[in-house]
Amino acid sequence: MTKGWTLYDPRLAWMLVAPVLLLLVVFLLLPIAMMAVYTFFTFVTAGVEESTLTLANWREFLTDSYYHGFLLKTLRVGAMTAVICGVLGYFPAYFIWATSFKHKWMLLLLLIVPFWISFTIRTFSWINILGEQGVINVALLRMGIIDEPLRMLYTEFAVIVGLVHFLLPYMILNVYVSLESIDRTLIAAARSMGCTGAQAFREVTLPLSLPGLAAGLLLCFVLAAGSYVTPQLLGSGRDALFGNLIYDTIMGQLNWPMGATLSIVLFVVLGIFAAIYTRYMGMSQIVKGLGG
Amino acid sequence: MPDTLQSTQTPRPVPAGADLSGNRATQPAVEFRDVEIAYGKFVAVRDFSLAIAKGSFVTLLGPSGCGKTTILRSIAGLVDITKGRISIGGRRVDDVPIYKRNIGLVFQSYALFPHKNVFDNVAFGLKYRNVSKAEIARKVGRALEMVRLPGSEKKLPSQLSGGQQQRIALARAIVFEPEVLLLDEPLSALDANMREEMRVEIKKIQRETGITAIFVTHDQEEALSMSDRIVVMNAGSIEQIGTPEEVYDTPATAFVADFLGKANMLAGKVSASTGTTATISLAAGQSATVVSPRPLAVGDAVTVVVRPQKLSVGKEQTSNHLSGRVLSTSYLGGSVIYEIDIGGGTMVRCHTAINGKPAREGEVIDLGFECDGCVLLDANGRRIS
Ligand SMILES: Nc1ncnc2c1ncn2[C@@H]1O[C@H](COP(=O)(O)OP(=O)(O)OP(=O)(O)O)[C@@H](O)[C@H]1O
Ligand SMILES: [Mg+2]
């Protein structure tokens, strides 16, 4: 191997991705593999397990409808959050894209500003808004519209509000990026052939921004379904999601094998969703079409 | 709905009194009157007046940034004009929104819808014109035949080559029989061979359909070979309008002479003048006697414009003689282009057929041109006529 280095040398490529690969293997693949092994360990009592291999954990998960209920609910909350984010997020993204305002970058910066505040603190803020002594209840009570404070905090509603608050910027950015990649002469072309503005939107802008919307939906769904802090802070025990169940199993019951089983379940289910979605929403197809 | 906003597909009978400029048949397809277009404070086009005859092929030719695209966009309604008026088929269109103007547009970047197949792309304009399904299929099929891509209905634009995409874009623009076809540098993204082929094809389709076409380019060869009339533009205004022969042989300004075919500009002063000829003493030191359309005042500064093709090499019986040192020789097979320093800091280009051996760099050669093989410009760079 006396050959000199070239700019697109595969060896160079490997060297450049090596640190990331190493990081992924050590901190992602290995832990997941260890978790997978743990699912076959035997639970003895709180905090104690044996390395005797057993299928008991999997049998318990597959037969106990308690877990299935949590899983379905988690997927439902994730889906609702994603759809709400999609509906609420498309308009600001479209606005930022369409505006002739000179300082667009400022609008985009505004999207990122919330990230400067800790996610937990942002979530806590909803307690002051939705709580019994929160802004909404106090205002409604003062105005005499209600006699008793509404129960908004510690409900599924509060959880979804918190998740939407957390995930909306991701949706907006995803949609914005795909709008930005649309060649504006396409819209001029559609208009010149007889489309009104609204028709041109339906024929050109909307379909061509769907890849971004689809990517945003997937991202929001996966992040919402895998969330743990938001339902912990804003939901009651009944509004817990799968992530809270895992936390409770591991930290509360100290049942590590079962906790590992549930973790792998969530990981696999969300992974399968992402894979099927990417395959059948034809995202890669659409992206390819745009490349031409 | 106001009367003027009604469908533009079929020529509507003109209400009495609205049509003051003669009957429709002789009306220009597109007419600009004193149009000015500004982007904010920047005036991109000014004093633009132009009448384009029905069925003709008109080219807007000019350097980058001179406002060609802006003019096209104003016809389509994609930019608003700030002064003057534009009429299409005798109808003033200032208030007609873009989607009701019935204009076919072909863009430099093709602008095919990437998510629609060829059929849906071509059918697009028909879909918004209340055409029946069967009729759409028939018209699309015919348009695809016209651009020689029949059977490609199911393909996506990304599965076509650049030239094929441009053909589809053309089919899409003509399928709904627009009043005017606008083409914005449609060939500049193609390679040289493809470009020539498409040139012929576009011209053929334009003739067959009899559509009025406005073609934008900064390529003089395209302009000269395709157009019925050429509009030479510079910095937002018109320099000259004429047939290809007119603008090439008798450039109205120094800009046109230089932009079309890089003519030689020989500066000089009138030393003698009769009614039909003028003798010019050139800054390069020589003197030349040329045909002059009118008597000139002795001492006036003029420029003699000579095409590189009108300069001949050798001591022939031409009426004017120059000589100079060859700076460079470009051998083109059948012909050769010399760059020659004729003194006084003047460099001329000579494009001539080869007889014998081409001259080498550094060699001193004789040049000549006929007294009627040139055009005279005055001190302001305008043709003396
Ligand atoms: N949207 C715009 N806003 C501001 N200025 C513009 C805009 N579009 C064009 N211009 C300016 O108007 C002038 C004419 O532009 P135009 O696109 O008509 O040029 P062109 O002749 O088509 O050039 P090219 O051959 O490069 O396409 C240019 O100086 C350009 O900078
Ligand atoms: Mg242009």
Average pLDDT of the segment spanning A143-157: 91
A100 at interface of B, judged by CB pairs closer than 8 A: no
Confidence tier at A60 by pLDDT (50, 70, 90): very high
Q: What is the pLDDT of residues A115-135, one digit of tens each?
A: 899 999 999 999 999 999 999
**Mean pLDDT, residues B237-266 taken together:** 92
What pLDDT, on the 0 to 100 scale, is given for residue B25?
A: 55
* Tokens encoding B262: 């890089």
- The pLDDT of residue B276 is 86
pLDDT in tens, A38-54: 999 999 888 888 888 99
Looking at 3.40.50.720, 3.40.50.2300, 2.40.50.140, 2.60.120.40, the CATH number of the domain B262-377 comes to: 2.40.50.140
Is residue B186 within 8 Å of residue B202, measured between CB atoms?
yes
The more confident residue out of A53 and A282 is A53
* Interior angle at CA B216, CA B214 and CA B222, nearest 5: 105
> Does A285 have pLDDT greater than 90?
no
Confidence of residue B304 (pLDDT cuts 50, 70, 90): very high
* Contact indicator for B178, B167 with CB cutoff of 8 Å: no
Vertex B126, ends B125 and B130: CA angle to 5°? 125
> Measured between CB atoms, which of B124, B158, B176 is closest to A292?
B158
Q: Contact A194/B156, CB-based, under 8 Å?
A: no
Give B57's strand partners. Answer: B213
DSSP three-state, residue A289: helix
With CA atoms as reference, report the closest residue to B264 among B151, B213, B340: B340
Domain boundaries, chain B: 30-102+178-257, 262-377
- Give B-chain residues touching A207 at CB under 8 angstroms: 115
Q: What is the mean pLDDT of residues B89-106?
A: 90
**pLDDT beyond 80 at B7:** no
Task: Quote the ligand 1 centre to B68 CA distance (angstroms).
Answer: 8
Q: Which amino acid is at B155?
A: K
Residue A33 has pLDDT above 70, yes or no: yes
The per-residue pLDDT for range B77-86, each reduced to its tens digit, is 999 999 999 9
Return the CATH class of domain A58-291: mainly alpha
Separation of alpha carbons A194 and B107, rounded Å: 16
Q: Among residues A249, A254, A246, which one has the least CA distance to residue A225?
A: A246
The helix or strand, by DSSP H or E, that contains position B289, with its residue range, turns out to be strand B287-291
Q: Does ligand 1 lie within 6 Å of residue B63's CB atom?
A: no
- Is residue B133 classed as helix, strand or coil in its secondary structure? helix
Q: Which of B77, B78, B128 sits opposite A193 (nearest CB)?
A: B128
Going from the Cα of A185 to the center of ligand 1, the distance in angstroms, rounded, reads: 14
> Residue B113: is its pLDDT beyond 90?
yes
The pLDDT of residue A202 is above 50: yes
Ligand 1 centre distance from Cα of residue B216 (Å): 13
What is the Å distance from ligand 1's center to B65 Cα?
5
**In b/e form, how buried is each residue of B81-108, taking b as 16+ CB within 10 angstroms?**
beebebbbbbbebeebebbbbbbbbbbb
- Residues β-bridged to residue A77: none
Domain boundaries, chain A: 58-291
Angle, helix B133-146 to helix B118-127, in steps of 10 degrees: 120
Answer whether B113 sits within 8 Å of A289, measured CB to CB: no
- Closest chain A residue to B125 measured between Cα atoms? A193
Q: Mean per-residue pLDDT for B157-163? A: 92
pLDDT digits (tens, 9 = 90+) for B195-212: 888 999 999 999 999 999
Average pLDDT over residues B49-53: 95
Stretch among A274-283, B99-108, B166-175, B333-342 having the lowest mean pLDDT: A274-283
pLDDT > 70 in chain B, percent: 94
- In the structure encoding, which two tokens stand for residue A72, read together? 């379905």
Q: In what order do the strands lie in the sheet with B374-377?
A: B287-291, B277-282, B264-273, B301-306, B374-377
Query: What topology does CATH give the domain B30-102+178-257?
Result: Rossmann fold (3.40.50)
Say which of B103, B109, B114 has its CB closest to residue A290: B114
Q: For chain A, give me the number of helices (H) and strands (E)?
A: 15, 2
Give CA–CA dist B70/B37, Å, rounded. 8
Look over chain B and give the mean of its residue pLDDT values, rounded to a whole number.
88
If one compares A288 and A11, the residue with the highest pLDDT of the two is A11
What's the pLDDT score for residue A292? 33
For ligand 1, say whether the CB of B238 is within 6 Å of any of its atoms: no
Is B65 touching ligand 1 by the criterion CB < 6 Å?
yes
CB < 8 Å to B109, chain A: 183, 185
Q: CA-to-CA distance for B244 and B268, rounded, in angstroms? A: 28
Residue-level pLDDT at B146: 92
Tell whether the model's pLDDT for residue A21 goes beyond 90: yes
Specify the range with the lowest mean pLDDT, choosing from A41-55, A213-227, A270-284.
A270-284
Share of chain A above pLDDT 70, in %: 95
Does the global pTM surpass 0.90? no
Q: Does A190 touch chain B (CB under 8 A)?
A: yes
CA distance B189 to B114: 17
Return the best residue to mutate from B37, B39, B239 for the ligand 1 pocket (most ligand atoms within 8 A of CB).
B39
Question: What per-residue confidence (pLDDT) applies to A94?
Answer: 95
Q: Does any ligand 1 atom lie closer than 6 A to the CB of residue B70?
A: yes
